[in-house]
Amino acid sequence: MLLFMANAAFAHEYKIGNLEIDHPVARATQANAPVSGGYMTIRNNGDQPDYLIGATAGFAGKVEIHEMKMDGDVMKMREVEGGLEIPAGGEVALKPGGYHLMFMQLQEQLLTGEKRPATLQFKNAGEVSIEFHVEEIKPGATMDHSKMGHTKAAN
């Protein structure tokens, strides 16, 4: 399936199959920062679950789906193995402090106001090309990914 964009310049929303991807945002970075986060809401209007199984972005050498959560008093970040479920009739918010895309091995600085293309891969719906709007995310709204340990999630 190919991308259907509903006037994305204004709506900042993308559709593929039964999925709607709303307001994809990438975190602006400092010069030479190796990582950034990607956030959005994915809604599934279908009657079957789908899974976000991967992503690619020309500005990053690697993109992973990550989850952040508290383990006692420690915030832990792990790669989501096997894909992130988008439940039938439900939605998943990728946001600071929770599920997010991790843009790694950045090729250059991400500047506020830019738009950066990427491709999301879903198990059932297929691939969709989107643009991440680069925005400054205020301190306290997100964690500094460069200072966190990364582990693989055990599903």
**pTM of the complete model:** 0.81
119: domain CATH number is 2.60.40.1890
Cα dihedral 138→152→99→64 (10° resolution): 80
Domain-located, residue 149: no
Q: Can you give the pLDDT of all 155 residues of the chain as single tens digits?
A: 344 443 334 447 999 999 999 999 999 999 999 999 999 999 999 999 999 999 999 999 999 999 988 888 888 889 999 999 999 999 999 999 899 999 999 999 999 999 999 999 999 999 999 999 999 976 545 433 333 333 334 33
Residue 144 lies in a domain: no
Type of residue at 151: T
CB 66 within 8 A of CB 77: yes
Question: Is position 75 within any domain?
Answer: yes
- Identify whether 117 is part of a domain: yes
Does residue 1 lie in a domain region?
no
Whose structure tokens read 């966190």?
148
Measured CA to CA, the distance from residue 142 to residue 37 in angstroms comes to: 9
Q: What is the DSSP letter of 28?
A: -
103 within a domain of the structure (yes/no): yes
**Which residue in this structure is represented by tokens 């193995």?**
81
Domain that holds residue 76: 12-138
> Would residue 7 count as lying in a domain?
no
Domain count, the chain: 1
